[in-house]
Structure 1
Amino acid sequence: MQYRKFRADELFDGYTLRKTDDTLIADATGKVIEIAAAADAGEDVETYSGILSPGLINCHCHLELSHLKNIIPPHTGLVDFLCSVVSKRGFEQELIQEEIRKAEQEMFENGIVAVGDIGNTADTVVVKQSSKLRWHNFVEVLGFSDEKAASNLQHYTSVADELKTHHRTTLTPHAPYSISPLTFQLINTATTGKIISVHNQETAAEDELYKTGSGDFLRFYKIFGLDRSPFPVTGKCSIRSYLPYFNNGQTILLIHNTFMCEEDIVWANEYAAANGLTLVYCFCINANLYIENKVPAVALFQQQHCNIVLGTDSYSSNWQLSVTKEIQALLQHSSIAAEQALQMATLNGAKALQWQNDLGSFEKNKQPGIVLLEKDFSSSKRLL
Structure 2
Amino acid sequence: MQVDLIVQARWIIPVEPASVIHENYSVVVNDGRIVDLLDNEAALQIYQPRAVECLDRQVLIPGLVNCHTHAAMSLLSGIADDLPLMDWLTHHIWPAEQKWVSEAFVRDGTDLAIAEMLRGGTTCFNDMYFFPEVTAQQAIAHGIRANVGLIVFDFPTVWAENADAYLQKGLALHDRLRHQALISTSFAPHAPYTVSDEPLRQVRTFADELELTVHMHVHETRHEVDEQRQKTGHTPLQRLADLGLLTSAFMAVHMTQLSDEEIGFYAQTGGHIVHCPESNMKLASGFCPVAACLKAGINVALGTDGAASNNDQDMLAEMRVAALLAKGVSGDASAVSAAQALQMATLNGAKALGLDAAIGSLLPGKQADLVAIDLSEVETQPVFNPLAQVVYAASRHQVSDVWVAGKRLLNKRQLTTLDLEELRGRAAIWQQRLTGR
TM-score bracket for the superposition, by shorter chain length: 0.7 to 0.9
Contact 2:73–2:306 (CA under 8 A) maintained in structure 1: yes
Query: 1:103 is aligned with what amino acid?
Result: A
Q: How does 1:148-187 map to 2 (within 5 A)?
A: 151-162=162-173, 165-166=176-177, 167-187=183-203
C-alpha distance 150-191 of structure 1, shift in aligned 2 (>3 A):
farther
Partner of 1:40: 42
Q: By how many angstroms is 1:186 displaced?
A: 2.2
Of residues 346-355 and 87-96 in structure 1, the stretch that sits farther from structure 2 once superposed is 87-96
**Structure 2 match to 1:205:** 223
Give the aligned partner of residue 347 of structure 1.
Answer: 347
Partner of 2:364: 364
Partners of 1:183 and 1:244 in 2: how far apart? Answer: 14
Gaps of 5+ in 2: 46-51, 178-182, 327-334, 376-388, 404-437
The structure with the largest helix share of the pair is 2
> 1: CA distance between counterparts of 2:355 and 2:31?
18
Q: Is the 8 A contact 2:9 2:56 kept in 1?
A: yes
Distance 1:72 1:382, change over 3 A: farther
Residues matched between the structures, number:
354
Q: Percent of aligned pairs with the same residue?
A: 22
- Mark the runs of 5 or more structure 1 residues left unpaired by the alignment: 213-232, 273-277
Structure 2 match to 1:382: 401
In the alignment, is the contact (CA less than 8 A) between 2:147 and 2:185 conserved in 1?
A: yes
The aligned amino acid for 1:353 is L
CA 1:34/1:367 → structure 2, altered by over 3 Å: closer, same or farther?
Answer: same
Which AA in structure 2 matches 1:142?
F
CA contact (8 A) 2:106 2:130 kept: no
Equivalent-residue separation in structure 2 for 1:68 and 1:150 (angstroms): 24
Partners of 2:287 and 2:336 in 1: how far apart? 13
What is the CA deviation profile of residues 256-290 of structure 1, one whole-angstrom value per residue up to 9, with x for unaligned ones?
111222221112233x2xxxxx3011111111122
Contact 1:60 1:118 in 2 (8 A): yes
Structure 1 equivalent of residue 7 of structure 2: 5
8 A Cα contact 1:65 1:316, kept in partner: yes
Q: Which residue of 54, 62, 67 corresponds with 1:59?
A: 67
- Structure 1 CA distance, aligned partners of 2:188 and 2:101? 27
Q: How far apart are 1:338 and its partner, in Å?
A: 1.0
Quote the residue 1:266 is aligned against: 264
Distance (whole Å) between structure 2 residues aligned to residue 191 and residue 383 of structure 1: 32
Q: 3-state SS of the aligned residue for 2:309? A: coil
Is residue 24–residue 35 contact of structure 1 (8 Å, CA) maintained in 2? yes
Bigger Cα displacement from structure 2, 30-39 vs 129-138: 30-39
Is the Cα contact below 8 Å between 1:7 and 1:24 reproduced in 2?
Answer: yes
Query: Quick one: structure 1 residues 160 and 113, their matched pair in 2 at CA, closer, same or farther if it must change by over 3 Å?
Result: farther
Matches within 5 A, 1:96-135: 96-122=106-132, 123-135=134-146
User: Is 2:81 the partner of 1:90?
Assistant: no
Residue pair 2:9, 2:58 contacting (<8 A) in 1 also: no
Instruction: Output the TM-score relative to the length of structure 2.
Output: 0.73
Alpha carbon RMSD of aligned pairs, Å?
A: 2.8
Residue 81 of structure 1 aligns with an amino acid whose one-letter code is: W
Pairwise CA distance, 1:164: 5.1
Find out whether 1:328 has 2:335 as its counterpart: no
| Structure 1, 370-379 or 256-265: larger mean CA deviation | 370-379
Shift of 1:3: 3.5
My pick for the range that moved more, 92-101 or 186-195, is 92-101
Structure 1 CA distance for aligned equivalents of residues 67 and 203 of structure 2: 20
